[in-house]
């Protein structure tokens, strides 16, 4: 069975997460992804453990070439790579690709059928178009941090680069749409995704409430500001779980299950509005009912009876979760040292592109000679480029 993107060439000028994670998705759909890096390596290669984690997670099965794009000979190699490409993806600092003659306008002037995708921090059309952007700036300026944390506490970032990860999926989705258009109509396209737009859009339900009321949502800890109990933490004898049961039928069912059928008739809890107004008293009553139960006992009580609940799990518990194990999300890859290591596959099941053991992230310039050979460069030409530091050959 052919993978959906078998035979498609993607040239990836991305660094860190958003662009490389998007091209990882395209690679998992069968595309041949060529990772283009400076001769000194992308920034993630020099920031220790965090950078190594990024490289392993978002660069599986790619082929790597290292070029000095400041040198016209390096730019020529990049152009020749793009001549064989269907999709180009980049998230370099604003203006960098243009200075190299590799911006969207220049590339598509030569090859209008190419799908050219750019990830920026704040969009390409507003006053911050030349401003570098990272996940945390998007979290701050989109409102995410303003609604994350305890009511009286300071604003909090989400505990992982949520905007970068979401932007990767948005970018891959848009690129696939543009590529389908090319297949149908023969025309390429330009795709633009900004971290700021993605971060705002992620909060769609909050924005829906704000646009209805004009009242900005406030931080409310784990609970949701307008419904209760919702996303509220219930400590147990050996851990904790989160519970949501804010509709009248579900709240009544929850109260019956924990042997507190009196709570729905209490005027403090008789409606969702009342429960929101008396959330602290509600949590006191509910938490008392869970305090003597183990997390397993609580889950066995709630989940089979249709009450939404989830155990709050550490990472070492998540990897043993039977549902996660059954999904096959964690895959084995072979590193450049020949050793196998565990990493993440893409979060879908696709019959034509099954998750299977593959190679890990490539070493810097691991496939430089191979790719230059495919472009028609001779061995002496490759050696000369390496001697002039226009390319990096992995030893």
pLDDT tens digit sequence for 135-152: 999 999 999 999 999 988
> 35-64, pLDDT tens digit by residue?
999 999 999 999 999 999 999 999 999 999
d(CA 221, CA 99): 46
Active-site position among 12, 32, 68, 164: 164
Between CA 85 and CA 358 the distance in angstroms is 23
Q: Average pLDDT, stretch 230-258?
A: 97
Give the pairing of strands 63-67 and 391-392. antiparallel
Q: Which of 50, 72, 66, 51 is nearest to 13 (CA)?
A: 66
Using alpha carbons only, give the angle 275, 211, 225 rounded to the nearest 5 degrees: 20
Percent of the chain with pLDDT over 90: 94
- Percent of the residues in the chain that have a pLDDT greater than 70, as a whole number: 100
Q: What is the mean pLDDT of residues 364-372?
A: 97
Can you tell me the distance from the alpha carbon of 187 to that of 4, in angstroms, rounded to the nearest whole number? Answer: 19
Q: What is the pTM of this model?
A: 0.94
Residue 68, CB-side half-sphere exposure with 13 Å CA sphere: 14
Contacts of 102 (CB under 8 A, 6+ apart): 13, 69, 75, 78, 79, 82, 90
Does residue 356 have a pLDDT over 90? Answer: no
Our answer to whether residue 164 is catalytic in this structure is yes
Q: Confidence class of residue 346 from pLDDT cuts 50, 70 and 90?
A: very high
Asked if the model's pLDDT at residue 294 lies above 90, the reply is yes
pLDDT at 254: 98
The angle at the Cα of 319, spanning 17 to 315, to the nearest 5 degrees, equals: 65
Q: Model confidence at 28, in pLDDT bands (50, 70, 90)?
A: very high
């Amino acid at each position: 069975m052919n993978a959906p993107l078998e035979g498609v060439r993607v040239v990836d000028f991305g660094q860190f997460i958003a662009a490389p994670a998007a091209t990882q998705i395209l690679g998992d759909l069968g595309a041949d992804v060529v990772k283009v890096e400076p001769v000194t390596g992308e920034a993630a290669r020099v920031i220790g453990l965090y950078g190594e984690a990024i490289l392993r997670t978002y660069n599986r099965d790619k082929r790597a070439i290292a070029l000095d794009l400041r040198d016209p000979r390096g730019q020529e190699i990049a152009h020749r790579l793009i001549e064989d490409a269907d999709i180009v993806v980049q998230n370099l600092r604003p203006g960098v690709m243009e200075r190299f003659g590799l911006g969207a306008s220049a590339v598509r002037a030569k090859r209008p059928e190419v799908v050219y995708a750019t990830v920026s921090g704040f969009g390409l059309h507003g006053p911050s178009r030349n401003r570098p952007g990272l996940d945390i700036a998007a979290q701050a300026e989109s409102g995410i941090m303003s609604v994350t944390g305890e009511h009286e506490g300071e604003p909090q970032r989400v505990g992982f680069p949520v905007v970068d990860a979401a932007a990767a999926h948005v970018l891959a989705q848009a690129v696939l749409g543009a590529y389908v258009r090319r297949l149908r109509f023969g025309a390429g396209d330009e795709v633009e995704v900004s971290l700021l737009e993605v971060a705002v859009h992620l909060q769609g339900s909050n924005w829906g409430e704000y646009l209805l009321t004009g009242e900005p949502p406030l931080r409310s800890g784990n609970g949701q500001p307008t419904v209760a109990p919702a996303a509220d933490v219930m400590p147990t004898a050996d851990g904790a779980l989160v519970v949501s049961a804010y509709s009248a039928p579900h709240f009544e069912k929850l109260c019956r299950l924990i042997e507190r059928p009196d709570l729905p008739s209490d005027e403090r809890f008789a409606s969702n509005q009342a429960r929101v107004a008396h959330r602290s008293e509600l949590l006191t009553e509910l938490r008392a009912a869970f305090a003597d139960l183990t997390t397993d006992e609580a889950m066995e009580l709630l989940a089979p009876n249709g009450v939404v609940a989830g155990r709050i799990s550490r990472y070492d518990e998540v990897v043993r979760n039977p549902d996660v194990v059954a999904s096959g999300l964690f895959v084995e890859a072979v590193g450049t040292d020949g050793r196998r290591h565990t990493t993440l596959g893409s979060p879908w099941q696709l019959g034509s592109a099954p998750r299977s053991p593959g190679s890990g992230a490539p070493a810097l310039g691991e496939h430089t000679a191979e790719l230059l050979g495919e472009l028609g460069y001779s061995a002496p030409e490759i050696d000369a480029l390496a001697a002039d530091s226009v390319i990096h050959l992995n030893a």
